[in-house]
Amino acid sequence: MLEPGMDAMIDPANERVATEREALFELLDVEKVYEVTKSEGFLKRSRRKLAALDGVRLRIDQGASMALVGESGSGKSTLLRVLLGLTEPTQGLALYRGRSVNQMRDAGPDFARDVAMVYQDARGSLNPRMTVGQLIAEPLRHFGICPEAEIPQRTNALLARVGLAADVAARYPAAMSGGQIRRVAIARALASNPTVLVADEAVSGLDVSTQAQLLNLLRKLQKDMGLTLIFITHDLGVASYLCEEIAIMYLGRIVETGPTQAVLDNPAHPYSKALRHSAPEFFEPISDPLPGEIPSPLDLPPGCRFSGRCTVAQSDCLANDPALTRQGQDRAVACYHPFAMSNISPEGIKERHVTF
Amino acid sequence: MAINGTTTPIAAARLRRSGMTRKSMFLRRPFFTMALAITFGFALCAIFAPQLAPFDPVAQSIEAMMAPPDSVHLLGTDSYGQDILSRIIHGTRYALLIGLCSVALGAIGGLVLGVAAGLASGKTEWILLRVIDSILALPSLILAVAFIAILGQGVDKVIIAVALSLIGPFARTVRSDVLQVKVQLFVEAAGLMSIPRFTVIRRHILPNVLFPLLVQVTIRISEAILVSSSLSFLGIGVTPPTPDWGLMIAEGRSFVSFAAWMSGMPGLALALLLIALSIVGDAMREEFDPKLRTGR
């Protein structure tokens, strides 16, 4: 399991724990394997293992804002469920403030109070038979945030914080628009005074103008309340606006992490680069779309999981699976032949890519 | 202030619109309106039976035996000389009392059993499902006959027997609703907030199950009345001389060739009430069940 780059990665990381911000979440080689049965003809079934997460290493500091980016099927949602303690990892450890997430969840309501979640399907996450006021009052009452008499006042304050008028408290979710309903979901998440706000695609599927409002709101909330933000998205633009750090996932593994600006300006992993260049830009043709489909996690290619679609794959990429190793100051990449991370402009990279 | 200024006309328009749809429900469904009026008529008969009935429903009279409908006895008399109209009016009380009470009891039983079966897993679920299946395996009339055989006769026994035989269908629909609701995101979200399981059931699952159950209740009332009348007709329901429709039909059966009104009048009343109730129930379901609602 131990690979040469790993010691080099862990030691400086531990130093950082002592010197810098406290690590809130730490994922240590987390694996999550699902067993799937597949029928092969009459009365014949084969059991196979599907690794939704495969050796994920991630560290989220207190007060940080982390974007988890990846295609659908890359394991973002499973990673989220592990972080929230909804599923137990098959292998490895998911730690919250140095303690196992599942233990924390079983120990009492403190973890639930600290870590709040905004679902992608905000409307589905709100009981349609409760008014907005009742929905927001539920966590207030459950966690005993404020005395019973102050609940209406507090609800109005939360609604005002997310930019909704106080009179929506009497409405039912069905009578509200998509943008409003996400604000309600955010208000409910904020009700418990959380330390961490986990948002799963919280702005996808909305009008661009509504998206912008929500992004501004989230950024403001993060700044004002000192929230740690874990934001799951497939939109690099959203990630770069909202989050200081980014983790790019591919087929159940984090292939590159680092400060958002640096990673997006100067991607080291071929997949990050392809993602960066497949985002449409104004009046420009999409430069080099990624060839092929994301392979099935049931039969991963040998060696590096990206090798089949990689434009710069070499013979050792097909033989061994690269682990996430530290590169430079605060970046890490899972690639044997990363692009140089020196300060060259994106154009420079493109030229270099052409000459390959 | 600005927000208030803009929302008030919108809210007013919404109110006006909802008022319009509510009004048009009666206009759009003339049969529903008629059936509702008939049902209310029967309900009034049941409430004001002593005031409305021209005669004592159990007063017998040798002079007016098997009299055909005339100006004194509007719907004729039976073989004991009892006024059929008065007996039908009083019989409404028993029909509605048995129908409503047994459906209410059956719905409560079905709710408990259905919620338990929907939330349980493993062996408990298996046992509960087999219990529901065994109730469903027999038609409700046969089941009610079996329960009457155990419990004995009388209005209260009929109510219990019919309620028990209705638990199966109620439990099945409640369970399927619970299965749908418990996988919804808001249930998971409540679990994520570490809200205790029992509170999640009470606050998030039950309210979403209760409404479809209420629609079911309106549909099942007619079935309950039919089953209770059938029990009386078979002579194992309520005991004579209680003015019960099923009993009256059974009593008139032997004279049906020359005094058809004796069975015909209570039969007509029963058919009218059952048809009216099922139209009301169907309309309620079509109106409030989102799955049946197509783009209007």
- Using the Cβ of A192 and the Cβ atoms of chain B, whether some distance falls under 8 Å is answered with yes
CB atoms within 10 A of CB A286: 10
CB contact under 8 A, A105 and B194: yes
CB contact under 8 A, B203 and A105: no
From CA B77, how far away is CA B69, in angstroms rounded?
A: 8
The per-residue pLDDT for range A97-141, each reduced to its tens digit, is 888 888 888 888 888 888 898 988 888 899 888 889 999 999 998
The per-residue pLDDT for range A187-238, each reduced to its tens digit, is 999 898 898 999 888 887 778 888 888 888 888 888 888 889 999 888 888 8
From CA A199, how far away is CA A117, in angstroms rounded?
A: 6
Percentage of chain A surpassing pLDDT 70?
88
Kindly report the nearest CA distance between residue B133 and chain A, in angstroms: 28
CB contact under 8 A, A119 and B7: no
Give B203's contacts in chain A (Cβ within 8 Å): 127, 130, 138
Residue B101 is predicted with a pLDDT of 94
Give A129's contacts in chain B (Cβ within 8 Å): 207-208, 211
Give A105's contacts in chain B (Cβ within 8 Å): 194
Contacting B residues, span 172-191, partner chain A, CB-CB under 8 Å: 184-186, 188-190
CB contact under 8 A, B194 and A109: yes
Sign of the C-alpha dihedral, residues B85, B89, B94, B100? positive
- Closest of A287, A291, A326, A331 to residue A312, by C-alpha: A291
Mean pLDDT of A312-326: 81
Give A139's contacts in chain B (Cβ within 8 Å): 193
- Using the Cβ of A334 and the Cβ atoms of chain B, whether some distance falls under 8 Å is answered with no
Give A198's contacts in chain B (Cβ within 8 Å): none
Determine which helix (DSSP H) or strand (DSSP E) holds A54, and give its type and residue range.
strand A45-61
Give B8's contacts in chain A (Cβ within 8 Å): none
- Using the Cβ of A121 and the Cβ atoms of chain B, whether some distance falls under 8 Å is answered with yes
Of 1.10.4010.10, 3.40.50.300, 1.10.8.640, 1.10.3720.10, the CATH number of B35-62+74-294 is 1.10.3720.10
From CA B149, how far away is CA B168, in angstroms rounded?
A: 19
Whether the pLDDT of residue A303 is over 70: the answer is yes
CB contact under 8 A, A84 and B193: no
Of A130, A142, A167, the CB nearest to B193: A142
Kindly report the nearest CA distance between residue A112 and chain B, in angstroms: 5
Mean pLDDT of A60-65: 87
For A127, the closest chain B residue by CA position comes to B186
Between A325 and A340, name the one with better pLDDT.
A325
CB contact under 8 A, A126 and B186: yes
Q: How many helices (H) and strands (E) does chain B have?
A: 12, 0
Query: pTM for the full model?
Result: 0.76
Whether the pLDDT of residue A11 is over 50: the answer is no
Of B4, B192, B204, the CB nearest to A127: B204
Kindly report the nearest CA distance between residue A121 and chain B, in angstroms: 8
CB contact under 8 A, A167 and B7: yes
**Angle CA A249–A254–A258, to nearest 5:** 100
Of A112, A129, A130, the CB nearest to B192: A112
Torsion angle defined by CA atoms of residues A36, A40, A43 and A47, in that order, rounded to the nearest 10 degrees: -30
Interface probe, candidates A125, A134, A177, chain B, greatest B C-beta count within 10 A: A125
- Using the Cβ of B206 and the Cβ atoms of chain A, whether some distance falls under 8 Å is answered with no
For B187, the closest chain A residue by CA position comes to A125
The per-residue DSSP string of A67-126 comes to EEEE-TTSSHHHHHHHHTTSS--SEEEEEETTEEHHHHHHH-THHHHHEEEE-SSTTTTS
Residue ranges for chain B with pLDDT beneath 50: 1-8, 20, 293-296
From CA B280, how far away is CA B41, in angstroms rounded?
A: 14
Give B189's contacts in chain A (Cβ within 8 Å): 117, 119, 125-126
Whole-number Cα distances in Å, A115 to A62, A196, A227, B182, B186: 12, 5, 10, 23, 16
For A105, the closest chain B residue by CA position comes to B194
- Using the Cβ of B10 and the Cβ atoms of chain A, whether some distance falls under 8 Å is answered with no
Residue A9 is predicted with a pLDDT of 45
For B8, the closest chain A residue by CA position comes to A167
Give A165's contacts in chain B (Cβ within 8 Å): 3-4, 7
Contact A136, A193 (CB under 8 A): no
Of A111, A125, A192, the CB nearest to B189: A125
Residue B57 is predicted with a pLDDT of 80
Residue A21 is predicted with a pLDDT of 66
Residue A341 is predicted with a pLDDT of 63
Is residue A280 very low, low, confident or very high in pLDDT (cuts 50, 70, 90)?
Answer: confident
Who contacts A280 (Cβ-Cβ below 8 Å, separation ≥6)?
Answer: A286
**What amino acid is encoded at A286 in this protein?**
I
User: Domain spans of chain B?
Assistant: 35-62+74-294
Is residue A345 very low, low, confident or very high in pLDDT (cuts 50, 70, 90)?
Answer: very low
Mean pLDDT of A81-87: 87
The three-class DSSP label of residue A46 is: strand
Give B4's contacts in chain A (Cβ within 8 Å): 165, 167
Give A121's contacts in chain B (Cβ within 8 Å): 185
Q: Which of A26-40, A265-279, B11-25, B33-47 has the largest mean confidence?
A: B33-47
- Using the Cβ of A106 and the Cβ atoms of chain B, whether some distance falls under 8 Å is answered with no
CB atoms within 10 A of CB A139: 26
CB contact under 8 A, A121 and B185: yes
For B1, the closest chain A residue by CA position comes to A165
Residue A335 is predicted with a pLDDT of 84
The per-residue pLDDT for range B80-126, each reduced to its tens digit, is 778 888 888 988 888 899 999 999 999 999 999 999 998 888 888 89
Whole-number Cα distances in Å, A71 to A84, A276, A335, B34, B266: 21, 12, 18, 58, 70
Of B3, B190, B192, the CB nearest to A165: B3
- Tell which phi-psi region holds residue B226, choosing left (phi > 0), alpha (psi between -120 and 50) or beta: alpha
Give A127's contacts in chain B (Cβ within 8 Å): 186, 190, 203-204, 207-208
Kindly report the nearest CA distance between residue B182 and chain A, in angstroms: 11
Give A156's contacts in chain B (Cβ within 8 Å): none
